[in-house]
């Protein structure tokens, strides 16, 4: 049975968020006016919060799926250790 992989896409999303945050820090060094503050308040902060929430949920869901797979495994199936 193929395992559900939530960790790899989440890691890619986390990396993209890290790059976005670094780019935003660099942009704010040159762009510091009321519009940039509005962009930060209305777009960047909510986006960060939503992505972090999604990453937390993905980690929890991966654990639930892993447990369900273990519990549903047929006794004759070979057990493999999967880190994640």
How confident is the model over 13-66, as pLDDT tens digits?
999 999 999 999 999 999 999 999 999 999 999 999 999 999 999 999 989 998
pLDDT score recorded for residue 36: 96
| pTM, two decimal places | 0.72
Pairwise CA distance, residues 84 & 6, whole Å:
9
Pairwise CA distance, residues 59 & 6, whole Å:
7
The 8-class DSSP code of residue 16 comes to H
Per-residue pLDDT at 82 exceeds 90: no
């Amino acid at each position: 049975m193929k395992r559900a992989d939530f960790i790899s896409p989440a890691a890619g999303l986390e990396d993209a968020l890290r790059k976005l945050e670094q780019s935003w820090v660099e942009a704010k060094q040159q762009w510091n006016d009321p519009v940039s503050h509005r962009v930060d308040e209305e777009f960047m902060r909510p986006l960060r919060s939503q992505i972090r929430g999604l990453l937390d949920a993905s980690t929890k869901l991966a654990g639930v799926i892993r447990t369900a797979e273990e519990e549903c495994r047929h006794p004759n199936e070979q057990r493999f250790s999967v880190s994640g």
